Amino acid sequence: MAAYTTSTSVAELIPEITFAVDYIYQDMSLGRQLVDYRDITGIPGTTTEYPIFTEVSASTGVGETSAPASHEMDLAMETLTVARRSVYVGPSDLAAASATGNLAQQIGVGMGMAMVKAIDASIFGVATATTNYTTGTGATDAALSLPLVRAGILLLEKNEVNDPIVGVVHPHQWDQIRAVFTPTATATNALSIYGVTVPSDAGNAIISSGRGNFLGVDWFVSNRIGSGTVGATGDVYNGLLFSKRGIGYAFKWTYEQGVEADRAPDLGLTKLVLNWADSAGIVYSSAVAKLYSTSG
């Protein structure tokens, strides 16, 4: 009598798929690490608040027996309201049976990356996905240049943003900055970077540091930041300069921290759904600036 063989169904792999999703969510989400992140899972309601007091001024020249001028200190309450988002896939039975390698990891990584890409696009899109947010600097008919970057940093410094500044730019924008710092040989053991002659070791350190800190800003590169078309001018790329308190992100697991499965034998597949709710927004506009440019 022939023996029956069994294969693990996709539904039985849910714990491993969920583990892979959670690993990607924790490790690969760039935007969530850079902003004011609030996890409201388990807290009743769909909103979270970011209170900001209005700026006040000190009184000068106050007489010894006089009362100083009074200044109102109002509280502005920026609110983020989360809404449902999901990743819905349906790996077929034939695909699952034919897959090589770790099937649970492959499915989990795919769903997890879809999740973090959606999260990052939401966070970085608070200013860059719309032309309505006009606080910023750049060029609508030219590529990004170092003077434009400096102008954006200056804008935040004039707003007295004293906490660490983060820059997130599109790969096309970063390539322009990278070109600026590409060294050219000038003499033995010397390089020229942006017109300044430096020892070759120092020049190589600047290039190899890449997306690190320069001009007092921690730089990151992501194609999940806003871009679009501006007609004959070319493609527009919108970067961001901001401090952590400038952008808020609220997150909530809607059912449980995991993937849910539902068999669809008539379709020959297993439906997998990952649900969560989130919202991103500018919660302190003085600490956020758009850094825009085009492809020329």
Cβ atoms within 10 A of the Cβ of 257, count? 13
pLDDT band at residue 256 using 50, 70 and 90 as cut-offs: confident
Cβ atoms within 10 A of the Cβ of 193, count? 17
Residue 42, domain member (yes or no): yes
Residue 98, domain member (yes or no): yes
List the domain range (segments joined by +) for residue 102: 11-52+74-294
Place of tokens 């983060």: 166
Q: State the total domains in the chain.
A: 1
Lowest mean pLDDT among 28-42, 107-121, 215-229: 215-229
Specify the DSSP element, H or E, that contains 221: strand 217-221
Residue 293: strand, helix, or coil: strand
Q: In CATH, what number is assigned to the domain containing residue 99? A: 3.90.1690.10
pLDDT per residue as tens digits for the range 119-160: 999 999 887 665 567 788 888 788 888 889 999 999 999 988
Residue 5, domain member (yes or no): no
Distance CA 13, CA 43 (A): 29
Whole-prediction pTM: 0.82
Report yes or no: 41 and 256 within 8 Å, Cβ to Cβ: no
Whole-number Cα distances in Å, 41 to 55, 104, 214, 247: 32, 25, 37, 19
Mean pLDDT of the chain: 82
Over its C-alpha atoms, the chain yields an Rg (Å, rounded) of 25
Residue 198, domain member (yes or no): yes
Please report the sign of the dihedral spanned by the C-alpha atoms of residue 11, residue 90, residue 120, residue 180.
positive
Report yes or no: 170 and 222 within 8 Å, Cβ to Cβ: yes
Q: Is the pLDDT reported for residue 195 higher than 90?
A: no
pLDDT per residue as tens digits for the range 85-112: 999 999 998 988 888 889 899 999 999 9
Residue 66, domain member (yes or no): no
Q: How big is the CA angle at 188 (ends 184 and 194), to the nearest 5 degrees?
A: 25
The per-residue pLDDT for 5 is 33
Residue 99, domain member (yes or no): yes
Among 28-37, 124-133, 182-191, which range has the highest average pLDDT? 28-37
pLDDT band at residue 283 using 50, 70 and 90 as cut-offs: very high
Residue 290, domain member (yes or no): yes
DSSP track, 5-41 = -----TGGGHHHHHHHHHHHHHHH-SHHHHSEEEE-T
Which is more confidently placed, 135 or 195?
Answer: 135
Distance CA 80, CA 43 (A): 14
Residue 247, domain member (yes or no): yes
Report yes or no: 253 and 276 within 8 Å, Cβ to Cβ: yes
The per-residue pLDDT for 54 is 72
Side-chain half-sphere of 119: how many Cα atoms within 13 Å? Answer: 29
Whole-number Cα distances in Å, 134 to 27, 31, 144, 212: 32, 21, 17, 27
Roughly what angle, to the nearest 10 degrees, separates helices 171-180 and 146-158? Answer: 110
Q: Is the pLDDT reported for residue 231 higher than 50?
A: no
Enumerate the β-bridge partners of residue 290: 136, 240
pLDDT band at residue 208 using 50, 70 and 90 as cut-offs: low
Lowest mean pLDDT among 56-60, 113-117, 236-240: 56-60
First to last CA, the chain: 73
Place of tokens 């999740």: 115
